[in-house]
Amino acid sequence: MNLSNVFSDGMVLQRAPAVPIVWGFASPGIRVETTFGAHSLSALTDHSGVWRQPLPPTEASDRGQTLLFRSSEGGAALRDVLFGEVYLCSGQSNMEYTPRSMAGMNNASAEIAAADSPAYRSVRLFTVGKGTTSKTPLRALGSLYHNWTAASSALVGGLAWKEFSAVCWLFGKELSNELKVPVGLISSSWGGTQIQVWMPEAANEACHQGSWSGDRYNAMIAPFAVGPMALSGAIWYQGESNNGQGRYYSCAFPAMISAWRAAFHSPALWFGFVQIAGYRYGGASRPDPSADLRQAQLAALSLPNVGVSTAIDTGGRTGIHPPDKQTPARRLAAAALDMRYGRRQFEAQHRPPLYSGQRLLRRPLLPTLLPAAAALGGGSSWGESGGGDDACSGKRCDVEARAGLVASGSLRWRGDGEACPCGCECGTPADPGVCYVPAAPPPTGWCGGTAEGEAGGGAAAGGGGAAGRGGGVATVAVRLSLPATTEVPPWATASSTLGHPGSVPRNACPVASMPPFHNPQDCGWPRLYAEAPNGSAVVFNATADLADGGQTILLRASVPPGLQVVASSYGRGSWPRTVFFSAGGVPVLPWYATLNETRPWVLPASVADDPAAHVELPDGAEGERVQ
């Protein structure tokens, strides 16, 4: 008989009201007796050779306790066991990053020294090693860097990449400061990994990635789920290696969270994640896809009990590993304290402003943020994180004609006293914080943070979370449309069945919709495509509403007479779509909906002549030109 190697002396088990489980391995049918204080417990080893012993719910305590295990095949003991809050920390290099990794994190010496404080003796750390991967779920860890150990400067400040995660440590330190209970932290990360390897194979198959076996999940997460281990929550910092895969990630990330919750028998397990930081991922000459990935990460908010820590204001030009690990960790801790423990005073420190609408004031398009931002501009310690090296980078207001009817440009929130060069004009006295294109058509929509490397402070919620769109409001790319025709055109309508992992709030009405974004020149708004008699293509921006109790999306656009509507799309097949709702006039969080069909579909010629036309999306339909 032996204990699972996820347990050791000095560990933390989840406090009441949770029922923590301790488990191990023996021959089938062997009975294991457990002594825990005044409790005498018994468990029978199952046919697979695993015994599991639930423990009585135990209040938080920093007084070490002993558990004794006896069987006919031997015995074991766990000593100095504390009860408190247990968190699993995972991801790729930005989670694996220790205080001494690479150039080191900001203020590393002081943060490392703090680990020797008596205040943190009840913070216990456990690091999974990277020596094992597996195509099938393992019952025990194949590699350990260190067992459960009390926090110390030697451990926190130890070897780069092989000791303890900086973000995980800083997160736990913040929780310890506020909760005053023991905190157990498990670091299980692997740099350079994609999300595919951190989820069970079945979850990958659901997102059409069935060739991935989830080898890191099997080797580094599954052993904790054998019991499973009782957790208070999990935090996640990953996505850089999936940059450019926004469509897949928007499916995979919620699927991974759901799979972890199922594995740990905790359907409401709190889950916090960090959006990838600002950096010029696309390089100097290519579009930066990181805003699309950040938007895809937000798909996780379609699940309950999920919190986001924005990090757009922590990035830099030099690499994808910002040394500012304090900001994302602090926001993660604030999210946990607010959402998990009901400490509402922390809400403003983590909850980012989210897009809920827009209004026009003269030429600039002004986004409405949810919740309302306390200030525009500013930010945290992002230093030189900017949009490039040329003098006009991040401040350009270029306008590019599209199909003769549609143009696109960009607006940028200005810092105090900052000019608007490159032919742009500064905002009016009523809105001094905007650069915009003079004499441009009125904008109809916006997307945030799509410029290469943009990492400006953006909007701050009470000084806490930076703006949480695709990358904040440091740069706002705006789609511009020429004024609508004065003629009364017919409505062109298309629909598609909507599938979503839940239900839209009963009292909520759609107020806006937008998909993820591709680059500053193509924000991917809903469109209808038409042809003129001479064969030239014309693109029309469309509005989107829900019908049939939230099961159908309707696209509408004004199409002048004489043009043939030939197709419609929600923007280059990037999914899922984001639909924003208002309940009683008060904006609510966005709803992330996945449509069943990702390709454009054909609209019959009659739709341009029939205002009441309602065309269902045919299976396997492709967008076609009508000759």
pLDDT(570) > 50: no
User: Are 442 and 515 in the same domain?
Assistant: no
pLDDT(252) > 60: yes
The confidence score (pLDDT) of residue 555 equals 56
Look at the chain and report how many structural domains it folds into.
Answer: 4
At 128-157, the pLDDT tens digits run 999 899 999 999 999 999 999 999 999 998
Q: How confident is the model at residue 259 (pLDDT cuts 50, 70, 90)?
A: very high
HSE at residue 92, side-chain half, CA atoms within 13 A, is 17
| Helix axes 290-297 and 246-263, enclosed angle (nearest 10) | 30
Torsion of CA 226, 228, 233, 236, to 10 degrees: 10
Tokens matching residue 477? 């790319």
In a domain, 33, yes or no: yes
User: Are 265 and 394 in the same domain?
Assistant: no
User: Are 436 and 408 in the same domain?
Assistant: yes
The confidence score (pLDDT) of residue 116 equals 94
The confidence score (pLDDT) of residue 593 equals 35
Top mean pLDDT of 162-166, 209-213, 234-238, 533-537 is at 234-238
Higher pLDDT, 534 or 123: 123
User: Are 327 and 179 in the same domain?
Assistant: yes
User: Are 107 and 209 in the same domain?
Assistant: yes
End-of-domain residue from the set 31, 65, 81: 81
Average pLDDT over residues 117-136: 94
Average pLDDT over residues 446-460: 38
User: Are 515 and 532 in the same domain?
Assistant: yes
Mean pLDDT of the chain: 68
End-of-domain residue from the set 454, 481, 508: 481
pLDDT(37) > 80: yes
The confidence score (pLDDT) of residue 52 equals 97
The confidence score (pLDDT) of residue 125 equals 97
User: Are 124 and 238 in the same domain?
Assistant: yes
Residue 44's CATH number: 2.60.40.10
The confidence score (pLDDT) of residue 321 equals 87
478 Cβ neighbours under 8 A, 6+ residues apart:
365, 408, 409, 410, 411, 443, 445, 446, 447
pLDDT(430) > 50: no
End-of-domain residue from the set 59, 81, 103: 81
In a domain, 625, yes or no: no
Least confident of 148-162, 201-215, 428-442: 428-442
User: Are 477 and 499 in the same domain?
Assistant: no
User: Are 177 and 291 in the same domain?
Assistant: yes
pLDDT(457) > 50: no
pLDDT(186) > 90: yes
Least confident of 20-34, 217-231, 501-515: 501-515
In a domain, 486, yes or no: no
- d(CA 93, CA 320) in angstroms, rounded, equals 9
pLDDT(523) > 60: no
- d(CA 250, CA 300) in angstroms, rounded, equals 8
In a domain, 616, yes or no: no
Q: How confident is the model at residue 528 (pLDDT cuts 50, 70, 90)?
A: low
pLDDT(299) > 80: yes
DSSP letter at 549 equals G
Q: How confident is the model at residue 293 (pLDDT cuts 50, 70, 90)?
A: confident
In a domain, 613, yes or no: no
pLDDT(544) > 90: no
Helices (H), 312-397: 326-339, 347-350
User: Are 476 and 365 in the same domain?
Assistant: yes
Q: Domain residues for 379?
A: 354-481
In a domain, 495, yes or no: yes
Q: How confident is the model at residue 206 (pLDDT cuts 50, 70, 90)?
A: confident
User: Are 115 and 209 in the same domain?
Assistant: yes
User: Are 186 and 296 in the same domain?
Assistant: yes
pLDDT(377) > 90: no
In a domain, 106, yes or no: yes
Sign (positive or negative) of CA dihedral 190, 196, 199, 200:
negative
Q: How confident is the model at residue 162 (pLDDT cuts 50, 70, 90)?
A: confident
pTM more than 0.85: no
In a domain, 620, yes or no: no
Torsion of CA 50, 53, 59, 64, to 10 degrees: -80
Residue 97's CATH number: 3.40.50.1110
Share of the chain above pLDDT 90, in %: 41
The confidence score (pLDDT) of residue 319 equals 76
Top mean pLDDT of 292-306, 417-431, 522-536, 588-602 is at 292-306
11-43 burial string, b = 16+ CB within 10 Å, else e? bbbbbeebebbbbbbbeeebebebebeeeebeb
- Say if strands 475-481 and 443-448 run parallel, antiparallel, or are unpaired: antiparallel
